[in-house]
Structure 1
Amino acid sequence: MMNTPCNIYLRLWPKLNLKIYRRCQQWILLNNQVSPTLHKKCVLARFYSHAVNGNYTHDSTIFSLSSGHGKCGVAVVRVSGPATWSVLQNIAQFKEKPAPRLALVRKLVNPNTRIVIDKGLVLYFQGPHSFTGEDSAEFQVHGGPAVVAALLGALHGVPGCRQALPGEFTKRAFQNAKLDLTEVEGLGDLIHAETEVQRRQALRQMEGDLGHLYQQWRTDIIKSVADLEAFIDFSEDQDIEDEVVQQVHARVGKLNDEIARHLDDKRQGERLREGVHVAIIGEPNVGKSSLLNAICQRPAAIVNDVAGTTRDVIETHVSLGGYPVLLSDTAGLRETEDKVEKEGVRRALQRAQQADVKVLVFDISRLQGQREPLRNMYQFIQHEIETLGLNDFNKEEHPDNVFDVRTKSKKNERVSYSSSFLKDYIIVFNKLDIVEEINIQNIIGQSKERSVQTNTVEADEQHGNGVPIVTEGDLTTYCISCTSGKGMDALVTALTRKVEQMCGNPLSGHPSLTQARHRAHLTACVAHLDHFRSGRPGGDIVLQSESLRRALREIGKLTGRITTEDILDVIFHDFCIGK
């Protein structure tokens, strides 16, 4: 064996260190040779060096502050790993192992200096009956920064202990089969949940509802693969009927339909997890910033009577009925030569295109000089959308559902339209406080197709008379005043209802997709199942079974369980071959 640095690595594997690794790197640079094999060995050596010298393996015991940083009443420090009992002996001064899950008051000391750190509660969790599946312990001490720092410093002094990496406790729980990947993601979502409905969805996923659904699908595919494998290998020697293949096709067809329905969820779970994007758009000085402030109930945006005050997108997170909403105020849409404002308009149009809900705001006071009322609300909105430059992306998103204005003759103009793309819009007429009630009726008018209702909810001592809510076909517009608050309750209720429809109820029906990763793997799984079903009857079963194996691999990536042993277990269990 030649004395190359990599061969030295292999011979000195138990004694690796960072210095040898760097020598290997220098040798590669000097000899100008970067072969894939050599590079792979170097990377492996680097990893093993960390494992031996840095203790980044399951032989190490990790600890970390699990409660929040800063001053608090009680701080919780967690320990997990094989040296947990040593920690309890050295710091909590136990002479024998305590009973699991029993809280005991102990005096905590530094094992090196024997100085008392604090007096607190100590709990011992014996593996595998712990969060990580390993022997674990918790120290509940007073939450002062000095106390926490002293305890962490004492843990550093225990042989085999090190500070945990971010998420390492949960990673060990996954590696010890205490959690699957969907439950890990649910735990992360629960920690970051900001609204009540987000909490419900995350808790349901963390409890394993989504993982159980995927596991059931995985079991069905394993069964199908096992049946095909048995038919391929043993159909001539054993009593395995040809109907097995037909049963597999029926099972795969049913599974394919279930996954397809699961994918066709209109991104409800993802929207609930990330928040529904709502963009407030309109001309300058129509009250967009005032509306943002009124909904979030704080001065998040600057309000001024000078047109063009808002030049950039202003975002704020709000909770509507327990649903998360990312509310965006945008620059006023108009033609301008100002470079800064032009960029603001571009960003406003871009945000409107990306938004799940678009709140289109008009200034109703600018319409009171019109001689005729708005006889056709659809036609008015169409004209405004085209004027503001919003019609371009509406045509891209809904090419078959844009307005179609046709003229039969010069004397008799007939307008036909389809308003399905307006389902993502909420139409608002603002500045109701500066328009007299009689003028409102003149502006909006009435016709056979239009219903003008008075919102009785708003009829109270503070707001006076009710405010009109105009309904024409499936289009509803809301008249409000951001200054007086008139009509705001009805608008917020309508916005909350729309957000709720988009996110759905996370506790009803099957658990929802919550991650783009889930959607990617399931889409690939459906593609493989479709490929299997497209195979000709009596075709090459070996090739067809490969499509099922690939589908199984995609499902396994969802929960983190990818193995062929499960297939072998089913084969020998169901068919009892060779008994």
Structure 2
Amino acid sequence: MYPLEDTIVAVSTPPGRGAIGIVRLSGPRAFEMASRVFRPQAGSLPAGDVGTAEMPVAWPVRRVLLGTFVDPAGDEPIDTGFLILFQAPRSFTGEDLAEFHLHGSPPVLRAVVDVLTRLGARPAQPGEFTYRAFVHGKVDLAQAEALNDLIQADALWQARSALHHLQGHLSRTLQAWKADLIELIARYEAAVDFGEAENMQFFEPGEAERRLDDLIGRVADLLATYRQGRALREGLRVVIVGKPNAGKSSLFNALLREPRAIVTPLPGTTRDFITERLIVDGLAVELVDTAGVRPTLEVVERLGIERTLRQIAEADLVLWVLDGSVPLDAEDDAVYAVIRDKPFRAFRNKTDLPAAWPPEAFTVRYGTPLQGSISCETGEGVADVMDVLRAAVRDVQQTWRDHAVVVTNARHEACLRRARQALQRARYGIRTQAPEPIVLEDLRSALRALDEITGETDVEDILGRIFAQFCIGK
């Protein structure tokens, strides 16, 4: 991973022009380098607070200083702005950290970074500032991931759930579980080391199994939030399906309020899936238009249908569009066969044309009622489809309200599954009176899986993958 002995520098604000641009400098030489490029304005240094003897510059920390940024090679001014010093360990990274608040001109920001690199700073890699915060114990790995989720959020509820994890709610839950596990492990280790020789009893009858049952139940409850939690983080995935020429692309365009998908009277126009993102009541919705499902020998269309089936498998909700102007047929039956086990809502399209079948015919044929009838041509009923999306969004939001912690991250979900499996093996071992070292190893496996979520198990490749997803300067 990244070396820690360097002083690193990067622009921390988004690329492009803006009112303010921030350059961040962190590491053992941060204050010394800051003192070489910053000239405080007369009277900007407050009386009294002059830092400590250990600081390379006698400037106050955690105060806003006004001055001029210069190139020390010739003392040429670059910009006027603010300098804020944060002394270790009371900084974001846990190291000495300087923040330069300048005007948001790309040439100005580049000039400041260039000067600092000439003085010995190294350009930061993506996520390196947060990596240093992780290494110095300012955040754990779950909080670091939440910070990146918060930065990347494009919807309010996505940001809200990320902030919840950043504030440590998931981490504190896991710490409580790990404390229980560590106590069980300690007792089993004592039983292995001393129990037989000294005839000591470390558990009341049934106690270990009861405690494991309780812990397994808590892990299972948290895992049950993942389907809705994933939608909070990644967006609710809504897939539009139907037979060819039912009006799927027309509904897709109507929901987006723009002609994103090509619409023609010819069946099979859509050969691949198209995705667009909507924000519905503060939650991201990933809307997917798909190729029509039907038996076909045409190679390209068949490939599109195969991709449709994969999209259905990953969907949180399926919108089934039926052509109300032609009779229900085997192609409709084929669609039902692939979506019957998914949450779906069915809409009869083309109410602007004479109806070929009544809503009751759908109920008789498929055992579930139609959600409604619509016309993508006139816009009739499209608001009802939006109401379905809003209801799905409310379900996700309610899950977040109903639980103290929600799992939103696929990596966390995989770790929790491994932890639950290890705990279940340990419980089975107790019930079948397996040797205590075997039970002990399963308990340790569960603890390692939980540790992996917060980064207390140092797995180099995991850390590399996570911090590489960050932007430079964070």
- Structure 2 length as normaliser, TM-score? 0.85
Work out whether 1:425 is the aligned partner of 2:344.
Answer: yes
Counterpart in the other structure of 1:188: 148
Counterpart in the other structure of 2:85: 124
Deviations 1:235-281 (A, max 9, x none): 58999654367544432221122112222335221232222222212
Partner Cα separation in structure 1 for residue 360 and residue 217 of structure 2: 48
Q: Which of 302, 307, 310 lines up with 1:350 in the alignment?
A: 310
Work out whether 1:63 is the aligned partner of 2:9.
Answer: yes
Work out whether 1:527 is the aligned partner of 2:421.
Answer: yes
* Contact 2:174–2:450 (8 Å) recurs in 1: yes
Q: Which of 498, 501, 515 lines up with 2:392 in the alignment?
A: 498
Counterpart in the other structure of 1:91: 37
Partner Cα separation in structure 2 for residue 295 and residue 126 of structure 1: 52
Q: Which runs of 5+ in 2 are unaligned?
A: 41-55, 459-474
Counterpart of 1:535 in structure 2: which amino acid?
G
Counterpart in the other structure of 1:561: 456
Partner Cα separation in structure 1 for residue 193 and residue 21 of structure 2: 60
Counterpart in the other structure of 1:400: none
Secondary structure of 1:82's counterpart equals coil
* Contact 2:294–2:331 (8 Å) recurs in 1: no
Partner Cα separation in structure 2 for residue 445 and residue 536 of structure 1: 57
* Contact 1:268–1:504 (8 Å) recurs in 2: no
**Given the superposition, is the C-alpha separation of residues 353 and 254 from structure 1 closer, same or farther in structure 2, using an over 3 Å criterion?**
closer
Partner Cα separation in structure 2 for residue 237 and residue 352 of structure 1: 60
Shift of 1:312: 1.9
Partner Cα separation in structure 1 for residue 227 and residue 449 of structure 2: 20
Counterpart in the other structure of 1:76: 22
**Given the superposition, is the C-alpha separation of residues 531 and 306 from structure 1 closer, same or farther in structure 2, using an over 3 Å criterion?**
closer
Partner Cα separation in structure 2 for residue 336 and residue 251 of structure 1: 56
Partner Cα separation in structure 2 for residue 139 and residue 228 of structure 1: 54
Q: Which of 118, 122, 127 lines up with 1:162 in the alignment?
A: 122
Partner Cα separation in structure 2 for residue 539 and residue 340 of structure 1: 56
Work out whether 1:478 is the aligned partner of 2:425.
Answer: no
**Given the superposition, is the C-alpha separation of residues 151 and 211 from structure 1 closer, same or farther in structure 2, using an over 3 Å criterion?**
same
- Identity within the alignment, %: 35
* Contact 1:224–1:252 (8 Å) recurs in 2: no
Aligned-residue CA RMSD (Å): 2.9
* Contact 2:24–2:99 (8 Å) recurs in 1: yes
Counterpart of 1:292 in structure 2: which amino acid?
F
Work out whether 1:146 is the aligned partner of 2:107.
Answer: yes
Secondary structure of 2:90's counterpart equals coil
Counterpart of 1:127 in structure 2: which amino acid?
A
Partner Cα separation in structure 1 for residue 202 and residue 15 of structure 2: 64
Counterpart of 1:297 in structure 2: which amino acid?
R
Partner Cα separation in structure 1 for residue 126 and residue 185 of structure 2: 38
Counterpart of 1:354 in structure 2: which amino acid?
E
Mean CA deviation greater in 193-202 or 356-365: 356-365
Partner Cα separation in structure 2 for residue 96 and residue 352 of structure 1: 61
Counterpart of 1:345 in structure 2: which amino acid?
I
Tell me which structure has the larger Cα radius of gyration. Answer: 1
* Contact 1:482–1:488 (8 Å) recurs in 2: yes
Counterpart in the other structure of 2:442: 547
Counterpart in the other structure of 1:286: 246
**Given the superposition, is the C-alpha separation of residues 126 and 332 from structure 1 closer, same or farther in structure 2, using an over 3 Å criterion?**
same
**Given the superposition, is the C-alpha separation of residues 238 and 129 from structure 1 closer, same or farther in structure 2, using an over 3 Å criterion?**
farther
* Contact 1:197–1:506 (8 Å) recurs in 2: no
Q: Which runs of 5+ in 1 are unaligned?
A: 1-46, 48-55, 368-379, 395-420, 451-469, 564-579
Counterpart of 1:482 in structure 2: which amino acid?
C
Counterpart in the other structure of 1:268: 228
Counterpart in the other structure of 2:472: none
Partner Cα separation in structure 2 for residue 489 and residue 169 of structure 1: 46
**Given the superposition, is the C-alpha separation of residues 337 and 423 from structure 1 closer, same or farther in structure 2, using an over 3 Å criterion?**
closer
**Given the superposition, is the C-alpha separation of residues 525 and 154 from structure 1 closer, same or farther in structure 2, using an over 3 Å criterion?**
same
* Contact 1:227–1:245 (8 Å) recurs in 2: no
Counterpart in the other structure of 2:353: 434
Q: How many residues align?
A: 441
* Contact 2:347–2:370 (8 Å) recurs in 1: no
Q: Which of 495, 511, 519 lines up with 2:405 in the alignment?
A: 511
Shift of 1:311: 2.1
Partner Cα separation in structure 1 for residue 97 and residue 324 of structure 2: 65
Q: Which of 171, 176, 182 lines up with 1:216 in the alignment?
A: 176
Counterpart of 1:114 in structure 2: which amino acid?
D
Shift of 1:493: 0.5
Partner Cα separation in structure 2 for residue 322 and residue 88 of structure 1: 41
Q: Which of 351, 376, 383 lines up with 1:489 in the alignment?
A: 383
Work out whether 1:227 is the aligned partner of 2:222.
Answer: no
Partner Cα separation in structure 1 for residue 301 and residue 200 of structure 2: 74
Counterpart in the other structure of 1:322: 282
- Structure 1 length as normaliser, TM-score? 0.70
* Contact 1:271–1:503 (8 Å) recurs in 2: no
- What are the equivalent positions in structure 2 for 1:376-415 lying under 5 Å apart? 383-388=330-335, 391=337, 393=338
Q: Which of 440, 444, 467 lines up with 2:358 in the alignment?
A: 444
Partner Cα separation in structure 1 for residue 273 and residue 163 of structure 2: 33
Shift of 1:167: 0.3
Partner Cα separation in structure 1 for residue 194 and residue 299 of structure 2: 75
**Given the superposition, is the C-alpha separation of residues 290 and 130 from structure 1 closer, same or farther in structure 2, using an over 3 Å criterion?**
same
Secondary structure of 1:489's counterpart equals helix
Which has the bigger relative contact order, CA under 8 A and spacing at least 6? Answer: 2
Partner Cα separation in structure 2 for residue 243 and residue 283 of structure 1: 62
Shift of 1:502: 5.2
Partner Cα separation in structure 2 for residue 197 and residue 502 of structure 1: 10
Counterpart in the other structure of 2:469: none
Partner Cα separation in structure 1 for residue 393 and residue 300 of structure 2: 33
Partner Cα separation in structure 1 for residue 80 and residue 409 of structure 2: 43
**Given the superposition, is the C-alpha separation of residues 445 and 169 from structure 1 closer, same or farther in structure 2, using an over 3 Å criterion?**
closer
